[in-house]
């Protein structure tokens, strides 16, 4: 957040060409024309929408969500009564942290991971992460061997309660294959662990292959697999604050519904979400255009910055870049210095690997889903950075 807030004090614009470039936050700015037009079509407000309502999710919306999951996340037919709607996935994650775990419990977390999970799970309720370092020589792809190794080496196995999978993965953009998904379910069954599957990037996918929800593969373990989704990433609607939770565990669903009292999404936002997720014609066209625009921007950066070492993925709004050759020494202290140099001298904010619990220093997450003027300026500044480094 420090880099994000710094950028907000003096952001780059056409009128302010020397301002900060924020390439560290995963927001999609490429589809604003579509989303603004759709939002401004407006909803007809009913009198009941202005009064108190079922805080965990309007009945009509929950039914639409089930249809959407079946059509686009390729889940089996789900029970709309088990859907819980909250004001963003951060709220959903914190509610899960409160309901599922006790202080000092551990969640297996493949690293690198989205740094916000530290706040969502750990900050208030004392959940800890058992990091599963993904190997750079494997391009940070998920491997069941890494999970087995981390679990077997851990001293307090009885404290390990769950696994969190982000599918597709943030920050690598990996579309996790079916082989691993089956393996992680079998591993969880063997160790009696819950699985939390965050699929918020499900439709931001450049492979044109259908998304394989982990819930669809859970089989007889489905009561222990809990699905998260939201509008912030696929639909470029971070400001709407819509997070969705689904589970077959009735006690957990009931607990999450009770907590929605503190985390509810407004009735008007729910009506909008219902209209959006029911419009399959719009969704299909939107996703095709969105993925084309994202891929074009990503390819532009790769083409115009051939010296930028990229660990590329098939999804998401970002990729990892390897800047380890510019470290003064192979340490996370040196990584922090490079982070500050990029931010202070070149006014470029990237998320550092240390903030994503990377196992080795020198990697950064670059969120490329920005407007073309910002992307062009990023290319100019990074070229200057490379030139300056070569002249040192």
**Residue pLDDT, tens place only, 333-375:** 999 999 999 999 999 999 999 999 999 999 999 999 999 999 9
Question: What confidence category does residue 122 fall into, taking pLDDT thresholds of 50, 70 and 90?
Answer: very high
Rounded Cα–Cα distance for residues 295 and 368 (Å): 10
Rounded Cα–Cα distance for residues 128 and 121 (Å): 8
DSSP bridge pairs for 322: 363
Considering only the C-alpha atoms of the chain, give the largest distance between any 2 of them, rounded to a whole number of Å.
Answer: 67
Delimiting residues of CATH 3.90.1150.10 domain(s) in the chain: 2-34+282-384
Q: Is 213 helix (H, G, I), strand (E, B) or coil?
A: coil
Delimiting residues of CATH 3.40.640.10 domain(s) in the chain: 48-280
Q: What is the pLDDT of residue 29?
A: 93
Per-residue pLDDT tens digits for 126-157: 999 999 999 999 999 999 999 999 999 999 99
- CATH code: domain 48-280 is 3.40.640.10
Average predicted confidence (pLDDT) for the chain: 94
Q: Which contiguous run of DSSP H or E holds residue 361?
A: none
pTM value is 0.94
- CATH code: domain 2-34+282-384 is 3.90.1150.10
Tell how far CA 186 is from the center of its chain.
Answer: 24
Lowest mean pLDDT among 49-63, 66-80, 105-119, 135-149: 49-63
Task: List the structure tokens of 315.
Answer: 């999804």
Cis omega (within 30 of 0) on the bond before 168?
Answer: yes
């Amino acid at each position: 957040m420090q880099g994000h807030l710094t950028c907000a004090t003096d952001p780059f614009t056409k009128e302010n060409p020397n301002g900060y470039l924020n390439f560290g936050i995963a927001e999609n700015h490429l589809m604003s024309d579509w989303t603004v037009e759709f939002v401004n079509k407006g909803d007809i407000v009913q009198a009941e929408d202005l009064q108190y309502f079922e805080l965990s999710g309007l009945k009509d919306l929950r039914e639409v969500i089930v249809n959407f999951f079946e059509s686009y996340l390729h889940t089996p037919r789900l029970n709309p009564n088990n859907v819980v709607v909250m004001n963003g996935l951060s709220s959903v994650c914190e509610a899960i942290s409160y309901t599922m775990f006790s202080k000092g419990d551990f969640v297996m977390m493949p690293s690198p991971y989205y740094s916000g999970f530290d706040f969502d799970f750990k900050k208030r309720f004392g959940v800890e992460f058992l990091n599963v370092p993904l190997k750079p020589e494997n391009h940070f792809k998920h491997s069941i061997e890494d999970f087995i190794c981390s679990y077997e080496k851990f001293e307090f196995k009885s404290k390990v309660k769950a696994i969190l999978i982000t599918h597709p993965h943030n920050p690598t953009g990996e579309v996790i294959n079916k082989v691993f998904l089956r393996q992680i379910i079998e591993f969880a069954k063997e160790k009696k662990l819950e699985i939390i599957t965050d699929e918020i990037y499900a439709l931001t996918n450049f492979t044109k292959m259908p998304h394989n929800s982990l819930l669809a593969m859970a089989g007889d373990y489905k009561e222990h697999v809990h699905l998260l989704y939201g509008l912030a990433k696929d639909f470029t609607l971070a400001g709407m604050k819509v997070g969705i939770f689904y589970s077959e565990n009735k006690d957990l669903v009931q607990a999450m519904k009770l907590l929605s009292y503190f985390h509810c999404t407004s009735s008007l936002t729910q009506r909008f979400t219902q209209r959006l997720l029911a419009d399959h014609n719009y969704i299909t066209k939107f996703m095709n255009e969105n993925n084309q625009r994202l891929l074009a921007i990503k390819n532009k950066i790769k083409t115009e910055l051939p010296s930028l070492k990229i660990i590329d993925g098939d999804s998401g709004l970002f990729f990892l870049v390897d800047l380890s050759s510019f470290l003064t020494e192979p340490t996370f202290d040196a990584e922090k210095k490079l982070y500050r140099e990029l931010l202070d001298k070149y006014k470029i904010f990237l998320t550092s690997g240390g903030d994503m619990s990377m196992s080795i220093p020198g990697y950064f997450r670059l969120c490329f889903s920005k407007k073309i003027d910002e992307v062009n300026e990023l290319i100019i500044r990074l070229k200057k950075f490379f030139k300056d480094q070569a002249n040192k």
